[in-house]
Every structure is written in structure tokens, then in C-alpha cells.
Structure 1
Amino acid sequence: MNSDTAKVLFKEGAMFVLLNMPEGSEFGIDYNSWTTGPKFRGVKMIPPGIHYIYYSSSGKPGLSNNCSVRSGFFWNFRQREMVVRKWDPQLEDISLDAATLEDKERLECNLQELDQYLGHYPYENYKKWISLTTHMSEDLLSRLQPECGTITSVSQFESPSSNSESRRLEAEEVKKAADSSPKPEKIGKLPKLTVVPGTAIRFTKIPKQRYPEGASPQEVTIHSIDSTYILESLLKSEYTNNSNGILGEIQFAFICFLVGQVFEAFDQWKKLVHVLCSSEKALSSYTDLYMNFIAMLHFQVHEIPEDFFVDIVSSSNFLTTTLQEFFSNLEAGNGDAKLRDRGLKFRDHLTKKFKWDFTTEPDDFAPVIVDL
């Protein structure tokens, strides 16, 4: 970071203050994470805009491999904003209660003393972060983030509430089964678990019906191949005022998976990418959307770690087969010339970088790897 940028961020940047974070915990913002030391109090000089804060506690003292699951949340920082949070040792999480006004005023009055306990935002990675969040907005965050405000890498489950009578009846049932069963390992039942209300990411639900009501058999067949009906249904129901909002959700899911370690987010990312890639007719109607889609995929593909990319994305051949369909639709003459040119240049770039061949279709209609 040059001196001019540092001066601007020192004056205009935001700060995230986290009090009482246990030493040895993980704390991160965007693509950067650290192990906290005894003096850690947060991060300063944060460029205004959307960022992802994440953390995992050091757990109970004396235990090996005791870091908890990763938790986090998106926050749209304003210029010179100070966000203050406290660590709750009982929850082993950031307290749901915001810091008091008195706490915040006390910190603001002692900024010079606080400054030495705050880490600098790693500005060298900021352009990379911006490239992955171009279509995300505060409204999108409000709609997608869990009602509880925290995204966790592992779903939170709960068992149905019970009382003394239900427990007594269940015990009697287990005893009867034990008396009559020659195989003790079959005794007992696993509790029925449900996701804790308010903790799930509120991803957009993909319509299961791929064709409009009253469609003829021929139309059903067409819609089964071309996902344009599903895409337009999503745009009309969720992104009426901004078709690029669907790209924002794809970016949201990508970050939740890559940084937040939420596997369900990867599944949503795959579903939405596939809808866009398999919407042949839409290429002629949503040129700007698809131009931005190609640019978005370009940055995402390059930010997936190589070993992770091979193991998770390529192993099931999802991305290559999906993009094969997309490029084939472009080559068939769908979309304007500028879109087609950009799409096919992207294809050539992927072929050169990852040695994928999208031009030769094997018998199973999947792209093959070019022999070196």
C-alpha cells in the first residue's frame, strides 16, 4: 500500500473492533485470516463497502484440535464507521447483543490507545475481493443472510422438545424392545433433528417445474432442455428491478463456500450457474446479464485453489460439462456477436489454462482433457 492510499484509508476507512477474543483463535476478513494474539482487538483501515468477517474460537483450554466451526457474516461498512462487538465466552461466539453506546463512546475517545491493538486491512488483496463482490448489495445481504445474522460452516440442528412424560414413555418403549430383541445394537432410536429456526441461509429456491402450466408435450420437451423458463421465473420473482441480482447471489454463494466453508452454498452456486449456462433462448434477450456472467466466472475460476478446484469442481466434471453446454449454445448463434466473441474467448482461455477441450465431444457428451 502506498503512502497516499494509507493516508486516505486511515482517515476514511472503517474499523471492526472485537473485544475479549480468546488468544489462539482464528479471525479473518475477506481473503485474509490470522491467529489472534493477546493484544488483538480487531482490524482498521477497512475500505468502505461489503466485507466478510469470519472467525472460529480456540475452544476449551487444554484440548487438542480444539478450534470450533467457522462462523461469519457479511457487513456493508460505511466511511469512518466503527463496528464494535464482544466475545461471549459462554457461547464461544460473538455476542448477539451489540456493544453499548457507552462502550463505543469510550473506544472512540481512546482511538489513539486502541490503534496499537488493531491490525491493518491487507489492501494488497482488495482488488481481488472487489472482483468477487461486484454484484452484491446490502439489500441482497439482508435477504440471503440467516435471520440470526450468523453464517456457520456446519448446520445447526435441534431435537424436538421433550417433557418428563414423553421421556418416560420413550424409556418404556426402549425397554420393551430390549426385552424382545436378540440384537441389542438395534435398540433405541436416533432423535429426529431439524435445522434450528433462523440459522439457515435463505437461498432462492429453484423452481422444480421447468415448464409453464398448460404446456404441450412438445413444449415440455423444449423446456426440459432449455432452462430459460426457470431463469425468467427467478428474475421476475426475485430480481425484478435488477437482473444482475442473480449474479450477486451466485457471488454470495461462492464466497460462503470458498471462505465460509458452507457446503450447501456450493450446491446453490452449481444450481444457479447451471441455470444460466443451459438457458439457450435467454442468450438473445439478456446480453448484459451474460456479459457480466462471463466476467464473474472468469474471476471465480481463477480464485479457486488449484488442488481444491481439481478435487471438488472437476472430480464430478460439473463445471466443464456445464460450460460445454454454454459454449455450444453460443456457437449455435444465440446471443449477439459481441457476447458470442467474449464467450468463446473465455472458452479458449480456459482451454489454455486448465487444458480443457470444449471443442471435441466424446461419446458421453462431456469435454475431455487435452493430452500433454
Structure 2
Amino acid sequence: MDKDTAKVLMREGALFVLLDMPEGSEFGIDYNSWTTGPKFRGVKMIPPGIHFVYYSAQSSNHTSGMRTGFFHNFKQKEMLVKKWDKYNEDIFPGQVSTEEQERLESNIAELDQYLGPYPYDSYKKWVSLTNHITEDLIQHLQPQCGTIYSVAQFESPCSNSKSRQAALTDKSPTQASKDGLPDLTAIAGTEMQFSKIPKKRYPEGATPQEITKHSMDSSYMLETMLQSVYTDNIHSILGEIQFSFVCFLIGQVYDAFDQWKKLVHLLCSCESALNTHNDLFMDFITVLHFQVHEIPEDFFVDIVSANNFLTSTLQEFFSNLENGNGDSKLRQRGIKFREHLTKKFNWDFTSEPDEFAPVVVDT
């Protein structure tokens, strides 16, 4: 970071103060994480805008717990203060008292030595991964509790010795499953609120020919989402793709990867929509360009490349462009993106995907 940028961030940047975080815990913001030391109190010089803060406490056997985090839209010169709850090994919900907030604000000079500077060198990368995410979109997609957990949160019904005995004799099916173990239900308000992707691929009253067309072209499904979910800004679907990607890559939420995969496939399997939403698909290519470069290599091998998901999905997208869909500028960007992927990752977009390969029938 150059001196001029540092001066601006010292003057205009936000601060995140975390009190009582145990030493040896994991703490991170955006694309950077650290192991906390004895003097850690938070981060300073945070560029205003949307950021993802995450953490996990170290257990008694020196292993990290589940990763937990939250998005926050930091304002200019804002000081966000949180306190660690040792009993629950999590951050206390809500804000600190007004008195404590004012005390910390009046002692910024003394507090400064305990705050680490935001790693500005990776800020450009963070912006490229989140530029379509808005505060309203975060409120729409994140759990109602405002906290994102890498592991689903469950609870079991209240029980006592009498109810457990009844459950074992199958007299109380609501209290336990058939094997005698308690039935676990997701804790209300902790689930991600991803947008529902339409299951119906064609409109009511479609002819057989139209059903066949819509079965091969996902444009109807995309239009349904744009008109029902993203009515204010159709580019918000790109924001959800970015939100899902960050929650998976950094928040370690596997359900987010599943949503990312579904949305990417939806857009890649559109044909006629390429002609009506050129700008959306131009930005979609840019979003994918930055995401593909940030997926760790082992993710490609273990998850992303399973069943050749990404290569086969992108191959369908490039094929739709080659068939004359979209304007010349969009097709040109698509070709350049394909050439870049082929050169950098040695991906083959020329061979026919297995699902389209001819079927040999024995006679």
C-alpha cells in the first residue's frame, strides 16, 4: 500500500473492534485470515463497502471449530464493536452498550496499537468477487439471524426420562426417530435464504414443440426468475452468484456451492435470452472469469470438476454462442474467455459431453 492510500484509509476507513477474542483463534476479513495473538482487538483502515468477517474459536485440543461469519456494509469512518461470548464460543449478538461504544471511540489513539491494518493488497481481488452484491441482496439471502454458519444448526426436542422411554417404545414418534435417536430440526432463522429456481421449464399450455424447445433452452426459467425475484435489478442474479461463491469459498458453506452451481448452469444453458440480455451475459462472463481464478486447485479436483460440471456447463454456453445467439460483442467475449480457459487450465471444450454423445444400442 502506498503512503497516500494509507493516509486516506487512516482518515476515512472503518474499524472493526472485537473484544475478548481468545488467543489462538482464527479471525478473517474478506480474503485474509490470521491466528489471533494476545494483543488482537480487531482491524482498522477498512475500505468502506461490503465485507465478510469470519472467525472460529480454538478448542481445548487446539483444533479450530466451525467457521462462522457475517456480511457488513461498512460506512466511512464507522467503528463496529463486537464482544466475544466465551460460553457459546461466538460473538454476542447485537451491539455493545452506548457507553462502551463511546468509551472506545474516545480512546481510538490508545486502541490503534491493538488493531491490524486491513490488507489492502488483496482489496481489488475482493471487489472483483463482490461488485454485484448489495446490502439489500445480503438481507434477502442471508439467514434471518444475520450469521452464516459453515455447519447447519440443529436442535432436538426437549426431553426427559419419561419422554425418552416413550420414544424407545415408539409411543412418541415426534420425539425420536425409529432408531431411538432424537429427531433434529434446523434452528429457525439460521438457514440460508437462497432464491428458488423454477422447476417448471415451460409455460402453461405449451405445445409439444414448445416443450421440446424449452427443455433444451433455459431462457423461460431465467425470465421467470428475473420477473419474480430480481424485479428491481436483473443483474442481482449475478450478485446471488457472487454471494453464493463467497459463502462457499470463504464461509465454507456447501449449500452455497450447490446454489452457485445451479445458477451458473441456468445461465449457461440459455439460448434465446442471450439475444435479449446481452449486458447481463457480458457481466456474467466477467463474474465467472474472476471466480474461476480463485477456486483452489484441490477444489477443481474434488468438487468443481466432479462429473466435469464446469467444463461441460461452459461448453454448453460456448456452443449456444457459436450458434449465433447474442450480439457480436458478446460472442467475441465468449470466445476470448474460452481461449483463456483452454490456455490456462488446459480444459477441452471441443469434445462432445457425455450426455450428448450417441447411444449405441445392441441388437
Determine if the TM-score, normalized by the shorter chain, exceeds 0.5.
Answer: yes
2:136 is the counterpart of 1:139: yes
Equivalents in 1 of 2:294, 2:27: separation in Å?
20
Does 158-167 or 221-230 show the bigger shift? 158-167
Cα deviation for residue 110 of structure 1 reads 0.5
1:209 aligned residue: 200
Do the aligned partners of residues 91 and 334 (structure 1) sit closer, same or farther apart at CA in structure 2, a change above 3 Å counting? same
- The 5 Å alignment of 1:156-235 reads 156-162=153-159, 166-173=163-170, 188-235=179-226
2:14 aligned residue: 14
1:177 aligned residue: none
2:71 is the counterpart of 1:74: yes
Match of 2:82 among 85, 109, 116: 85
Equivalents in 1 of 2:353, 2:206: separation in Å?
33
Q: Structure 1 unaligned segments of length 5 or more: list them.
A: 175-185, 367-372
Tell me the secondary structure at the aligned position of residue 54 of structure 2: strand
Do the aligned partners of residues 101 and 213 (structure 1) sit closer, same or farther apart at CA in structure 2, a change above 3 Å counting? same
Cα deviation for residue 161 of structure 1 reads 3.7
- The 5 Å alignment of 1:234-313 reads 234-313=225-304
Equivalents in 2 of 1:362, 1:146: separation in Å?
37
Equivalents in 2 of 1:172, 1:189: separation in Å?
9
2:118 aligned residue: 121
What code does the residue aligned with 1:19 have?
Answer: L
Equivalents in 2 of 1:262, 1:245: separation in Å?
20
Do the aligned partners of residues 319 and 167 (structure 1) sit closer, same or farther apart at CA in structure 2, a change above 3 Å counting? same
Tell me the secondary structure at the aligned position of residue 132 of structure 1: helix
What code does the residue aligned with 2:254 have?
Answer: F
Cα deviation for residue 217 of structure 1 reads 2.1
2:336 aligned residue: 345
Q: After TM superposition, what 4+ stretches of structure 1 lie above 6 angstroms from structure 2?
A: none
Cα deviation for residue 303 of structure 1 reads 0.8
Tell me the secondary structure at the aligned position of residue 360 of structure 1: coil
* Contact 2:68 2:149 (C-alpha < 8 Å) held by counterparts: yes
Equivalents in 2 of 1:190, 1:225: separation in Å?
45
1:48 aligned residue: 48
Cα deviation for residue 220 of structure 1 reads 1.6
Equivalents in 2 of 1:3, 1:288: separation in Å?
38
TM-score, normalised to structure 2's length?
0.93
Cα deviation for residue 360 of structure 1 reads 3.2
Match of 2:307 among 293, 312, 316: 316
Tell me the secondary structure at the aligned position of residue 191 of structure 2: coil
Equivalents in 1 of 2:271, 2:301: separation in Å?
28
What code does the residue aligned with 2:27 have?
Answer: F
Match of 1:359 among 334, 350, 353: 350
Tell me the secondary structure at the aligned position of residue 146 of structure 1: coil
Q: Structure 2 unaligned segments of length 5 or more: list them.
A: 172-176, 358-363
Cα deviation for residue 120 of structure 1 reads 0.4
- TM-superposition CA deviations, 1:216-245 (whole Å, max 9, x none): 222222111111111011111111121110
Count of residues in Structure 1 that have an aligned counterpart in Structure 2: 352
Do the aligned partners of residues 227 and 20 (structure 1) sit closer, same or farther apart at CA in structure 2, a change above 3 Å counting? same
What code does the residue aligned with 2:229 have?
Answer: E
What code does the residue aligned with 2:33 have?
Answer: S
Tell me the secondary structure at the aligned position of residue 147 of structure 1: coil
Paired-residue identity, %: 67
- TM-superposition CA deviations, 1:34-84 (whole Å, max 9, x none): 00011100000000000000000112x3x242x210000110000000000
Tell me the secondary structure at the aligned position of residue 76 of structure 2: coil
Equivalents in 2 of 1:163, 1:212: separation in Å?
52
Equivalents in 1 of 2:170, 2:350: separation in Å?
63
Equivalents in 2 of 1:56, 1:78: separation in Å?
25
Tell me the secondary structure at the aligned position of residue 116 of structure 1: helix
1:370 aligned residue: none
Cα deviation for residue 170 of structure 1 reads 2.1
- TM-superposition CA deviations, 1:119-174 (whole Å, max 9, x none): 00000000000000110101001111101110010001112344665334224459
Equivalents in 2 of 1:51, 1:209: separation in Å?
36
- TM-superposition CA deviations, 1:263-284 (whole Å, max 9, x none): 0000000000000000111000
- TM-superposition CA deviations, 1:173-228 (whole Å, max 9, x none): 59xxxxxxxxxxx9842322221110011000111111112222222221111111
1:178 aligned residue: none
